A and B are shown apart, each in its own frame.
Chain A
Amino acid sequence: MGEVLRFAQLQSSVDVTFLAELSEHKLNVLKLSEEPVDVCGFFGPNRYEAVPARLQLDVSSLRPGASSRPDCHAAPGVLLLYNTVEGFRNSDKPALMRQVASQVWADILSGAAEAQPWRLCRFLLLVHGDLKRYTFHYWFAFPALKPPSPITAAHPPRPLAAALPPSAIEQITAACSAWRSPAPVPAPTSDPSSSAPSPAAAAATSLPSTPAELLDSTPAPFWLLSSPREDFSEDVQTHPLSAWGSLLRGAGSSFGAEAAGPSGTGGGEEGAAGAASSAPGFGTPRRRHVALAFSDGSHLPGCPAWQLRNALLLAAVRWRVREQQVLCLRESSRGGGRLDPQRSFILTVTLPAVEGAVEGGATPPPCPDAVGWEANEQGRLLPRFMDLGPHLRPEAQAEQAV
């Protein structure tokens, strides 16, 4: 019925500092080991119409203490650094992809991905570097698990500004900005007499030191928004994905079934019927409408970024919804970094039925196929190449220092 929903692929963006740190790490820590290394990538909501969805890696991808990225979401990656060209060539790439995909699948089935939504954003990075010449072949994969049939859009995507009343946009903006940047820990400058903090106080603001700590210290890229009203004009609250069950407890079987009905031209009315229920867990017996919110890095109108694919699969498998409202949130660059109601949009997606029952079931359902190898600059599924000699070779650095 609806059109197949299309997702904007991610573009990798590797900072010089990442590969410089990787070279150091290879020489001093990994040496000849080819064991997988945990890394982090960073992404955030789209801010500029001209910039596609990106996953960025920099020095803190390998050494989380090296810098903080307070405005980003973190994604977990597995880095395979091959010693030889042959190793890079001969690695079984489809098998590696299946391996990461099965982790994502297991995390969806077990509920781990609801508790830690970064588990949906796993990526794979294969690298072979010639450390003497500072040249690197590398290949990213962003596994997206394919449901049995494509996810479709029940209605065309509509900008928030057109779909919701201004009061709703105001509340959603406030709620989501609080989600994205939780109240900061009070500054450690307890001594008002000294204007500059002491080194001890500076050390108190500790940065995460492992990728695992980093992942848990950054806000989740997916969360839930709930309101007693269909158009989110009242009492908008944010919840982690894991609150889905408690939001809907006692909801019975009706939710999700009635959603296809509403008229398409109702201004603030349409589309909000994705999930409605009573919410005893939140102290009010009123039905609450629940939408999935997503920090959308894509710049393409109506096309959410790649990461949403696994989150929608989770919704189909764990929540058993056939229709779900999704808010794809983007920011505005002018006037600064706040939610952009013109470019953020509401989607109502129709999800296929996906077998994912594990309770009591003997064997979990098999992992769906995954796609998501990054294409090279020519649009072919081949490794990318980078020559950092001019950036990193000592002689070249000396030449540049003008």
Chain B
Amino acid sequence: MSLKHTLHTLFKQTVEAVAPPLSKSQFEAKGVLTPEEFVAAGDYLVHACPTWTWEGGDPKKRRTYFPADKQFLVTRKVPCVRRATELEGGYNPNSEFAVAGEEGEDAWVATHQDPAASARGAGGAAGDGGDGIPNIDDDAKPSAAAGQGGAKEDDIPDITDLELNEGEDEAAAPSGRAPGYLRAEEPADNIMRTRTYDLYITYDQYYQVPRFWLVGFDESGKPLLPQQVMEDVSEEHARKTITVDPLPHLSGLSAASIHPCRHAEVMKKLVDNLLEAGREFRVQQYLVLFLKFIASVVPTIQYDYTMSVGGE
């Protein structure tokens, strides 16, 4: 699968380099967008929902058919309080193993290597009174498995003797401290173990549709590995439509993205449904509708997809 993806990426890059971007609107027939329509839809989104902004990205990676400051859309620090796996009624080890066997590929499944621990974590969170805040052990597990977090903190021997003492600072709100410190004396709702996401929407020239990217951070603000990001993708999509690719417009960053190969089809269907129901739909509203569709893929990431479309 990996090889196939790599070959396809190369093919796609070649086509994008040679073939001109779509110039005639085919939105109604195929559910795809021209670059101009993407910009118009982006402008509409930014206007309707200012949590999204246009950015220019790396000047070296600009697409000349877009304005320099409107290369892609981004919204930052979007919270994700729960893992998608919890939402779906807990972890089902059988499904994981079935997939692992079938695909012969364990990169995504690696985060769930210890099914017992995940099950315990999910149970624990529910036991805490169902407040939806995951048990900290839940997150420590995949972090450690991915070689992140404090696992190698002993790289500097005896780093603890670097500890500083700032003395009393009564003006500091205690919840700025890390979770461990808080646990002892602060009410539970001050404990922040929420992951956050920077979400990007780029234009995919090959498929002529928007493409959605997820860049995640853990509770302490450290980057999540793409494998960990999978925990926030609904199970039915995690192993089918999510791929990890270099993020266009920004150098050096690979990110999980929802592969755009079916987007046009889905969008066409959604638009047809709206029209059949007697609603209006204009191409400017494309991204608003697109985000509603994406919400089903990443159900626990709390970006704003509440804007109405179709004259509601």
The residue in B48, B53, B76, B251 that gathers the most chain A C-beta atoms within 10 A of its C-beta is B76
Would B171 and A146 count as touching, CB distance under 8 A?
A: yes
Q: How far is the CA of A268 from the CA of B183 in the complex (A)?
A: 38
Q: Which of B123-169 contact A (CB under 8 A)?
A: 146-153, 155-156, 159-160, 162-167, 169
Q: Is the CB of A50 within 8 A of B175?
A: no
* Best-surrounded residue of A6, A10, A402 (most CB of chain B within 10 A): A402
For chain A, the count of residues having a C-beta within 8 Å of the partner chain is: 98
Name the residue on A nearest B23 (C-beta): A195
Instruction: Count residues of B near A (Cβ-Cβ below 8 Å).
Output: 93
Q: Which of B149, B171, B219 has the most CB of A within 10 A?
A: B171
Q: Is the CB of A300 within 8 A of B171?
A: no
CA distance A130 to B196 in the complex (A): 27
Q: What does the 1/0 interface line of A373-390 toward B look like (CB < 8 Å)?
A: 101111111111111111
Residues A135 and B252 in contact, CB atoms below 8 Å apart: no
A51 to B81, CA, bound (A): 10
- Contacts A65-B59, A67-B55; A54 near B254 (Cβ below 8 A): no
Pick from B56, B172, B249: contact of A6, CB under 8 Å: B172
Cβ-based interface call for A59 (8 A)? yes
Is B14 among interface residues, defined by CB-CB distance under 8 A?
no
Instruction: Give every chain B residue within 8 A of A135 (Cβ-Cβ).
Output: 152, 155
> Is A378 within 8 A of B171, CB to CB?
no
A201 nearest CB neighbor, chain B only: B68
Residues of B within 8 A of A402 (CB): 1-2, 5, 105, 107-108, 243-244
Nearest CB in chain A: distance from B130 CB, A: 16
B179 and A334 form a contact (CB under 8 A): no
| The residue from B68, B162, B176, B219 contacting A89, defined by CB atoms under 8 A apart | B162
A5 to B198 CA separation, bound complex (whole angstroms): 32
**How far, in Å, is B312 (CB) from chain A's closest CB?**
14
Once the chains are docked, how many angstroms separate the CA of A203 from the CA of B64? 10
Shortest Cβ distance from B225 into A: residue: A390
Closest to B62 in A: A202
Chain A residue numbers with a CB within 8 Å of B276 are: none
B172–A51 touching, CB < 8 Å = no
Q: Which of A331-385 contact B (CB under 8 A)?
A: 331, 333-338, 371-373, 375-385
Q: Is A21 an interface residue (CB 8 A)?
A: yes
Is A400's CB within 8 Å of the partner chain B?
yes
Give Cα A88–Cα B172 distance, bound, in whole angstroms: 26
A122 at the interface (CB under 8 A from B): no
User: What CA separation (Å) do A59 and B223 show in the bound complex?
Assistant: 14
**Contact of A10 with B156 in the complex, beta carbons under 8 Å:** no
CA distance A157 to B147 in the complex (A): 43
Q: A13-B217, A334-B304, A399-B107 are contacts. A7–B171 as well, Cβ < 8 Å? A: yes
Which residues of chain A from 130 to 172 have any CB-CB distance to chain B below 8 Å in the complex?
130, 135, 137, 144, 146, 150-151
Given A8-B173, A50-B194, A371-B169, A378:B223 Cβ within 8 A: no
Task: Choose among A24, A48, A382 the residue that contacts B162 (Cβ–Cβ < 8 A).
Answer: A382
Question: CB distance A48 to B67 under 8 Å?
Answer: no
Q: B19 contacts the other chain (Cβ, under 8 Å)?
A: no
With CB as the reference atom, state the residue of chain A lying closest to B198.
A15
Contacts of A199 in B (CB 8 A): 64
Determine how close the nearest CB of chain B comes to the CB of A312; give it in whole angstroms: 10
Partner of A371, one of B163, B166, B303: B166
Task: Determine whether the beta carbon of B253 is less than 8 Å from that of A20.
Answer: yes
Residue pair A68, B50 in contact (C-beta under 8 Å): no
- Which residues 1-42 of B have a CB within 8 angstroms of A? 1-2, 5-6, 35-36
Q: Which residue of A lies closest to B174 (CB)?
A: A6
How far does the Cβ of A345 sit from chain B's closest Cβ, in whole Å?
Answer: 14
Interface flag for B170 (CB, 8 Å): yes
Name A14's contact: one of B159, B165, B222 (CB within 8 Å).
B222
Shortest C-beta distance, B11 to chain A (Å), equals: 15
Alpha-carbon gap, A54 to B225, bound state (A) = 20
A11-25: CB near B (< 8 Å → 1, else 0) gives 111111100110010
Q: Are B172 and A390 in contact (CB under 8 A)?
A: no
Residue of B nearest to A94 (CB): B164
Q: Mark B201-241, 1 if CB is under 8 A from A, else 0.
A: 00000000000000101011111011100000000000000
Partner of B56, one of A17, A151, A205, A384: A205
A281 at interface by CB-CB < 8 Å: no
Taking a contact as CB atoms under 8 Å apart, the answer to whether A397 and B254 are in contact is yes
* Chain B residues near A54 (CB-CB < 8 A): 77, 221
Q: B66 on the interface (CB 8 Å rule)? A: yes
Known: A5-B171, A67-B58, A397-B254. A202 touches B68 (CB 8 A): yes
Closest-by-CB residue of B relative to A63 is: B58
Asked whether any CB of chain A lies closer than 8 Å to the CB of B309, the reply is no
Q: Shortest beta-carbon distance, A241 to chain B, in Å?
A: 21
Question: Is B270 in the interface zone, CB < 8 Å from A?
Answer: no
Contacts A13-B221, A14-B221, A197-B68 hold; do A300 and B178 have CB atoms under 8 A apart?
A: no
A59-B253, A196-B64, A300-B175 are known contacts; what are 8 more A-B pairs with Cβ within 8 Å? Answer: A50-B79, A67-B57, A336-B49, A379-B179, A382-B163, A390-B148, A401-B5, A402-B105
- A and B contact pairs by CB, cutoff 8 A, 27 listed: A5-B171, A6-B173, A7-B171, A8-B175, A48-B196, A49-B79, A50-B192, A54-B77, A59-B251, A59-B253, A89-B156, A130-B155, A151-B171, A203-B68, A333-B304, A336-B49, A336-B50, A337-B49, A372-B166, A375-B176, A377-B220, A379-B177, A379-B180, A381-B163, A391-B225, A400-B244, A402-B108
4 closest residue pairs by CB, A with B:
A9-B176, A379-B181, A337-B50, A13-B221
Chain B residues with CB under 8 Å of chain A are 1-2, 5-6, 35-36, 48-59, 62, 64-69, 76-79, 81, 105, 107-108, 146-153, 155-156, 159-160, 162-167, 169-173, 175-182, 190, 192, 194, 196, 198, 215, 217, 219-223, 225-227, 243-245, 249-254, 302-304, 306-307
